[in-house]
Chain A
Amino acid sequence: MAPIVRMSGISKQFLGVTVLKDVDLDLHGGEVHALVGENGAGKSTLMKVLAGAHRPDTGSIVLNGQEVSFASPRDAQRAGIAIVHQELTLLPDRSVAENVHLGREPVRRGQVDRRRMEADTADLLDRLGEHGIAPRTQVRRLPVAQQQVVEIVKALSMDARVIAMDEPTAALADHEVELLYDLVDRLRSSGIAVLYVSHRMREVFDLSQRITVLKDGTLVTSTRTNQITQDQVVRAMVGRPLDTMFPDRAKTRGTVRLAVRGGGNSRLHDISLELSAGEIVGLAGLQGAGRSAVARALCGVDPLTTGEFEVDGQPVRVRSPRAAIRHGIAHVTEDRKGEGLALRQSVHDNTMLVRNAAFGRRRIDVERLLRSVRLVSRGTDQEVRYLSGGNQQKVVLAKWLAVNPKVLVADEPTRGIDVGAKKTVYELLRELADSGVAILMISSELPELIGMSDRILVMHDGRLAGELPAGSSEEAVMSLATGGQA
């Protein structure tokens, strides 16, 4: 059977960095095609090329036997290609129905047919089993998971022949994931071609008929799902056995640098933990279990409202990021570009950012610092937006190293960076720990968390569900994370 979409030889550069290189991809009707790869492997870019949001530098897209060239997402939509984006593309001030039909509002006698729009939306929500969302609700009033549902409904409403989903389950609760499975299945059986982008192996193997693996912008393998194993896919993604990536664990554990007893706020309850010099403590949990909330509480972003907080044995009040920093707590945030870096400023200025902002101190040897994080750049004058994700993350680490923290809270420190940079980040974290810093590391990639941590704390529903020793199995972590016992 001929594919609905055949992408061949797709290449794309951004600002001189090759993001996709000569990638081929076929999408068949009635088939779920999983696209996997690490963050930064080019999955999202490939999808955006398909959706008309980016134009490929080279290569062609053939749709139903005809070569097409999409000038805009609108063109792609018209050709029957719909996208569920990873980041939410919703207008918070508009209603659910308005968002679902954005750009394709039904018109009746010159007016937008609101009744039909709302009825259609209600119908689609029903099909997804989402009875709790009213089409007239303003999107800003919905929780994030429901906003994700709206995002999916939006793609569904396009009557598309091809639907591409970029990590659609990222923000969904478990029962929602099940519904999504059903939905994807139904889409497939109605003859739609589904491109399913994810790095969650379980979903990929549950849902897909075909798997394509991207690594560093090139296609590593493309095969039927039943002809490959999970291990083989992971190896193809990473390019080498994962366990060689991680540095040795700590040999000794020093004094307690940070301690919280009975901490809580609107999202957290009864959090008690200790972080000691020299150790890397992993913090695991499902999406929404409160991992980031712990990070944000320790770092003063959403401060704890109850409980005791000690740094180096001294009780402290951490009510703002500034207070946290001045007590020696560093915070590598999840959203590097949005929260970590001033993208238009130079490497030098970003490295000095915290030092300047929180302490107003004079200069230090920035170059030495940048060498120590193995930064590759064209010089300290280069604007950080031109750096690769990995090097940007190294600048983030450098800006914290510049203030000699006692505690480092690293929220998803390897998100969206390539394998080489990941390894560097792992090494840097371990070096930091060895130098006496206490590290709390959060990651949604369990192998990484298990590989790095000296012990693992598991969150469930805003509470600490338990602690596991180094080298625990993924099953043990998941069991605690889903409310079971260790």
Chain B
Amino acid sequence: MTATATRQPVRRHGTRKFRLTPTMSVYIALVVLLVAGSVLVGMRGGVLLDHGGILNILTRGTVLGLVAIGQTMVILTGSLDLSVAYLIGLCSLIAAETMAGDPGMIVPAVLLTIGFAAVVGLVNGLVITALKVNAFIATLGVALIIRGYLENTYTGPAGSVPRGFQHLGYDRIGPIPVSTVVMLVLAVIVWWYLTRTKGGYHVYAVGGDEEVARLSGIRTGRTIVTMHVLCSVMAGLAALFLVSRLGSGAPYVGTDAGYDLESIAAVVLGGTLLSGGRGGVAGTIGGVLILATLDTIFDDLGVTPFLKDVVRGAVLIVAVALYARSQLARRAR
């Protein structure tokens, strides 16, 4: 069984026919959307992808991207996280209040925020794995607990961020915000983790079939808990980014934007199966960009926010229906 490392598996590449993966279709859809949007906006005398437009799409995509990356990880294990929105609010307050305008407190505040987020993720994970509570209920419960704390403790924005920290939210490289670069780097790291490392393999295994994973010697509980911790940490990072934009912590900054359901929508739009085991971060980023682009196009067209919701809902359903359909077709073949 040794001495095989040198052998090349030359002969069996199987039949590698071209297959349209969900990830590819997401990006094709994105390109189509950008082209169609450019035409529509152009007809009204505007330019979709000018400097401001690109900046806009990327800025909008950044926070949702961070949250959705985390959400992708938990959804891949077959779980989900409804607590991210309130967690973002609470984390923004923790960060801003700890910093309290003092540049020297930036590092402690960032560490504290991420640490706190990790603890919340740990609680989510343990409630799901140890208490065997359905992920929907577990994270909804945690969300409600955080919400109660926020409502009871905060009356509005609190804390303040030193100027130095605001660079995170406002600096950019050409038309690309620094924060977007950070988000994309994190996306690449998570993509690498999920597709290249042992831990990532186990995520797909747990999401694909928890019992099979267990019988194969994978510590399924640990995998789920880890992903929940990472998801919450991503939410914490999203909060840090928001704080740097807002200048202070805001209790409802996560819920006003609906990051809980919106991030799930982005993940699913990106071709990840809600039941887990299939999909990935690349698709999610595509999904996020589609949502951000839609928003920007609608803004440029001066469409009311109500129509946006209608279109968003319809896009979500249609996209998932198309994935389900291609899945069926493949099975029938």
User: Does B4 reach chain A (CB closer than 8 Å)?
Assistant: yes
A135 at the A/B interface (Cβ < 8 Å)? yes
With A72-B214, A116-B5, A119-B5 already in contact, the answer to whether A93 and B197 are too (CB < 8 A) is no
CB-nearest residue of chain A relative to B200?
A112
The contact of B7 among A94, A107, A112, A123, by CB within 8 Å, is A123
A102 to B12, CA, bound (A): 20
* Chain A neighbourhood of B12, CB < 8 A: 122, 131, 133-136
Contact partners of B13 in chain A: CB under 8 A: 134, 136
Identify B214's interface contact among A73, A78, A91, A107, CB under 8 A.
A73
- Are A94 and B205 in contact, CB atoms less than 8 angstroms apart? yes
Q: Could you say which residues of chain B place their CB within 8 Å of the CB of A122?
A: 4, 7, 9, 12
On whether A112 and B4 interact (CB within 8 A), knowing A102-B213, A133-B12, the answer reads no
Q: CA–CA, A134 to B12, complex, Å? A: 5
Name the B residues within 8 Å of A92 (CB-CB).
Answer: 208
Interface of A is mostly: loop
A292 at the interface (CB under 8 A from B): no
Q: In whole Å, how far is A77's beta carbon from the nearest beta carbon of chain B?
A: 5
B207-233 residues with Cβ-Cβ distance < 8 A to A are 208-209, 211-219
Chain B residue nearest to A83 in the complex (CB): B215
Report the minimum CB–CB distance from B283 to chain A (whole Å).
14
CB pair A119 B198 closer than 8 Å: no
B208–A91 touching, CB < 8 Å: yes
Which of chain B's residues have a CB closer than 8 A to the CB of A107? 197-198
Please report the C-alpha to C-alpha distance between residue A375 and residue B275 in the assembled complex, in whole angstroms. Answer: 38
- Evaluate whether A93 and B215 lie within 8 angstroms (CB atoms) in the complex, with A110-B197, A119-B7 already known: no
> Does A118 reach chain B (CB closer than 8 Å)?
yes
**Chain A residue nearest in CB terms to B10:** A122
Please report the C-alpha to C-alpha distance between residue A116 and residue B4 in the assembled complex, in whole angstroms: 8
A105 interface residue, CB < 8 Å from B?
A: yes
In the complex, A90 has a CB within 8 A of chain B: yes
- Tell me, rounded to whole Å, the shortest Cβ–Cβ distance linking B228 to chain A: 21
- Interface size, A (range): 35 or more
- Which residues of A are found within 8 Å of B11, using beta-carbon distances? 131
A122-146 contacts to B, CB under 8 A, are 122-124, 131, 133-137
A123 pairs with B201, CB closer than 8 A: no
Q: What does the 1/0 interface line of A99-121 toward B look like (CB < 8 Å)?
A: 00011110100111001101110
For the complex formed, measure the closest distance between the CB of A220 and the CB atoms of chain B, giving whole angstroms. 28
A134 and B10 CA atoms in complex are apart in Å by 10
| Complex CA–CA separation, A77 to B202 (angstroms) | 16
Whether the Cβ atoms of A112 and B204 lie closer than 8 Å is no
- CB–CB A111/B5 < 8 A: no
- Does B196 lie at the interface of the complex (its beta carbon under 8 Å from any beta carbon of A)? yes
Q: Distance (Å) between the CB of A13 and the closest chain B CB?
A: 21
For window 173-223 of chain B, which residues contact chain A by CB distance below 8 Å? 196-198, 200-202, 204-205, 208-209, 211-219
Instruction: Give which listed residue, B8, B198, B218, B219, contacts A112 with CB less than 8 A.
Output: B198
B302 at the interface (CB under 8 A from A): no
Residue B43 at the chain A interface, CB threshold 8 Å: no
Residue from A104, A110, A131, A137 in contact with B14 in the complex, judged by beta carbons closer than 8 Å: A137
Expressed in whole angstroms, the minimum distance between the Cβ of A270 and any Cβ of chain B is 24
10 closest pairs, A vs B, by CB? A74-B217, A134-B14, A134-B12, A103-B216, A103-B217, A91-B208, A102-B216, A122-B9, A123-B4, A89-B212
17 contacts between A and B (CB under 8 A): A89-B209, A89-B215, A91-B204, A91-B205, A92-B208, A93-B208, A102-B201, A102-B218, A103-B213, A103-B218, A104-B217, A110-B197, A112-B197, A116-B4, A119-B9, A131-B11, A157-B1
* Residues of chain B at the chain A interface (Cβ within 8 Å): 1, 4-5, 7-9, 11-14, 196-198, 200-202, 204-205, 208-209, 211-219, 277-278
Residues of A within 8 A of B (CB): 51, 53, 72-74, 77-78, 83, 85, 89-94, 98, 102-105, 107, 110-112, 115-116, 118-120, 122-124, 131, 133-137, 154, 157, 159
Given contacts A92-B208, A119-B5, A119-B9, 9 further A-B contacts (CB under 8 A): A53-B215, A72-B219, A73-B214, A77-B217, A85-B215, A102-B213, A123-B1, A134-B14, A135-B9
